[in-house]
Amino acid sequence: MRRFAVLLTSAIVIAGVLPLLAQTSNPEAHLKGAFRRPAENGWTYVHLEGVPFDVGFQHGYLLAAEIVDAERVVVLDQTHSGRHDWSFFRDAAKTVMWPHIETQYREELQGIASGLRAKGSKLDVWDIIALNAFCEWDYYVKEYDRQHGDAIAAKLAVPEHCSAFVATGSYTRDGKVIIAHNDWTSYLDGARWTIIFDIVPSSGMRFLMDGFPGAIHSADDFGLNAAGVMITETTISHFSGYDPKGIPEFVRARKAMQYSSSIDDFARIMEEGNNGGYANTWLVADRKTNEIASLELGLKNVTLLRKSDGYFVGSNFPANPKLVKEETDFNVTDNSESANARHFRWEQLMAQYKGRIDVAAAQSFLADHYDTFEKKEDADERTLCGHVDLSPRGSPPWQPPYGAAGAVQNKVADATMAGRMSFSAAAGHACGLNFKANEYLRERLEFSWAKSLLRDMDAQPWTVFASSMESGH
C-alpha cells in the first residue's frame, strides 16, 4: 500500500498538481491585497493581485459561491443533450487541455481550485479547466464526434456570439479610438457573466475585463490593459475545425490580455499554438497610437487588417472568402441570416454616425432594434441588441436550441476611459427590456430542462468601473 501511495504521489507531482495544493494551509497568506465589492447594478467587482497561484486562490475564495453556481450551469449546458456527460469534459481537460497549458496558468487554475476548497467546495482543477474551456467545447466535441463516426453531431454548427465594433480617426468624435461589445449567449450562463475583474499579476500588465466566475479569461473577451491595448471579438459563424494539439483558446486569450503592449503582440500571442477553438474575429485598439485592427483567426486561415482611420465591425460573419469556403458553411448571400443582417446594420450606423461616434453613441448602438431584413424596428435575432427569445423563428435550425438567448451584457470604452483603466458596462439588455424566466418557460415547455437554473435577467443601467489604484478602494 505504501509503495502504491508513493507511486501515486510521484504521478501527481509529475502532473504539476500536488506542490501547489499544499500551499493552502494558511488561506490569509494568499489573500493579501485582494477584495470584492458589493454588487453594483448587476455586476460584482473583484480585485486580484500577486503571483499566479495567489491570483487564482483569491479568485476561488472570493467568488466561491458564484463559481459553484457557474459550474452547475456549464455542466447542464454541456450535458443536457445526453451525448456526453461531465466526466467526458473532465477527462478532456486532463488529457487534451492540461498538456498545453503553460506553468503560470496551471498554477492559477490550481489556485482557483484551492481557494474553492478552502471555502468547502469539492470542485477540483479538472472541473475548473473544463469550466474555463466552455466556449471551445463545441469545437472540440464537433471534431471528436466526427472522428468517432457520429455524423449527426459532427454536423452541428457552433453557436454565434456577440456584436462589436472598433473605430478611430474621422469616424469618432474626438479622433481617438473607441471599442464596444455585447455578449450574445444563452440567458442561462449570460445572467452569470457579470464579474468585473481587476487583476494585477506579478508579471505582465494590469488589466480590467468583464468575465465569468471561475474563468481566467474574459470568455466573451472584452478588456483593456495598462499598456493601452483594448480587446474584444465576435465568434465566426458556422465554423468547423479544431486541433487538440494546440494551446487552448482560453489560455491564449488570457495571455494576450495580460502581455500585449501592441497590436503586433496581440496577434502573435493569439496565433501561436492556435487550436481553432472558439474561432473569432478579434477587434483590437491601441490607445497609444490610435490604430485599430481586425484579426480574423480561423484554424487554417488568418487575416490581420489594420487602420489608422476607419472602423471594423463584428457580428459573427466570416470575411475572408478563403476562410468562408474552407472552414465554414456560411451563406454570405442570405440576408435573413442574423450575422449578415447585423453586419448590414453596423455598416448603416457607421455611415450615419461618421465623425460623431462616442460613448453615448456606442451605447445606443448596442441597444439597437432595427432589423435590416424586415426593414423595421423588431427586437429579434437579427438586431444588434439580440432577442432570440422574442423571435417567432426561435433559435436558427443550425444552432443549439438555447431558445432564451441574446445580448446578455454590454461594454464600451474610449481612449480617455482606457487611459484611466476604466470602461462602461450594462448588465442585461442595453435596450432596457427585462427577461423573466418563469414567464418564458410557461410558453416554451421544450426548455424545461433549464428550469432549475434559468434566472430572470433584468436590464441594468450603464455603470463605469475602473481599476482600483489602491487595494480596498
Residues 425, 340, single domain; the answer is: yes
pTM: 0.93
Mean pLDDT of the chain, nearest integer = 91
Q: Let me know if residue 386 belongs to a domain.
A: yes
Residues 227, 359, single domain; the answer is: yes
φ, ψ of residue 405 to 5 degrees: the values are: -155, 165
Q: What is the pLDDT of residue 446?
A: 86
What band does 399 get if pLDDT is binned at 50, 70 and 90?
Answer: very low
What band does 83 get if pLDDT is binned at 50, 70 and 90?
Answer: confident
Q: Pairing mode, if any, of strands 291-297 and 302-307? A: antiparallel
Structural domain boundaries enclosing 73: 2-154
d(CA 297, CA 285): 16
Q: Let me know if residue 137 belongs to a domain.
A: yes
Percent of the chain with pLDDT over 70: 90
> In the predicted model, is pLDDT for residue 315 greater than 70?
yes
What band does 161 get if pLDDT is binned at 50, 70 and 90?
Answer: confident
Percent of the chain with pLDDT over 90: 84
Question: Which of 177, 248, 179, 172 lies closest to 209 in space, CA to CA?
Answer: 179
d(CA 453, CA 428): 17
Q: What is the CATH number of the domain that holds 439?
A: 3.60.60.20
> In the predicted model, is pLDDT for residue 401 greater than 60?
no
Last residue of a domain, one of 154, 185, 218: 154
Q: Let me know if residue 473 belongs to a domain.
A: no
Residues 123, 215, single domain; the answer is: no
Residues 231, 366, single domain; the answer is: yes
Residues 309, 345, single domain; the answer is: yes
> In the predicted model, is pLDDT for residue 451 greater than 80?
yes
Q: Which residue did the predictor score with more confidence, 124 or 142?
A: 124
Residues 117, 44, single domain; the answer is: yes
Query: How many Cβ atoms sit within 10 Å of the Cβ of residue 333?
Result: 7
Residues 222, 281, single domain; the answer is: yes
Q: Let me know if residue 305 belongs to a domain.
A: yes
Residues 264, 391, single domain; the answer is: yes
How many domains are contained in the chain? 2
Average pLDDT over residues 75-87: 91
Last residue of a domain, one of 154, 177, 212: 154
Give the pLDDT confidence of 234-267 residue by residue, as tens digits.
Answer: 999 999 999 999 999 999 999 999 999 999 999 9
Q: What is the CATH number of the domain that holds 7?
A: 1.10.439
Last residue of a domain, one of 154, 181, 213: 154
Q: What is the pLDDT of residue 2?
A: 35
Residue 224's Cα: distance from chain center in Å? 14
Give the pLDDT confidence of 183-236 residue by residue, as tens digits.
Answer: 999 999 999 999 999 999 999 999 999 999 999 999 999 999 999 999 999 999
Residues 212, 145, single domain; the answer is: no
What band does 148 get if pLDDT is binned at 50, 70 and 90?
Answer: confident
Instruction: Copy the grid coordinates of residue 37.
Output: 465589492
Residues 138, 177, single domain; the answer is: no
Q: Let me know if residue 472 belongs to a domain.
A: no
What band does 168 get if pLDDT is binned at 50, 70 and 90?
Answer: very high
Cα–Cα distances in angstroms (integers) from residue 32 to residues 28, 58, 119, 348, 429, in the given order: 7, 9, 17, 49, 36
Residues 105, 186, single domain; the answer is: no
Q: Let me know if residue 237 belongs to a domain.
A: yes
Q: Let me know if residue 471 belongs to a domain.
A: no
Q: Let me know if residue 213 belongs to a domain.
A: yes
Residues 49, 183, single domain; the answer is: no
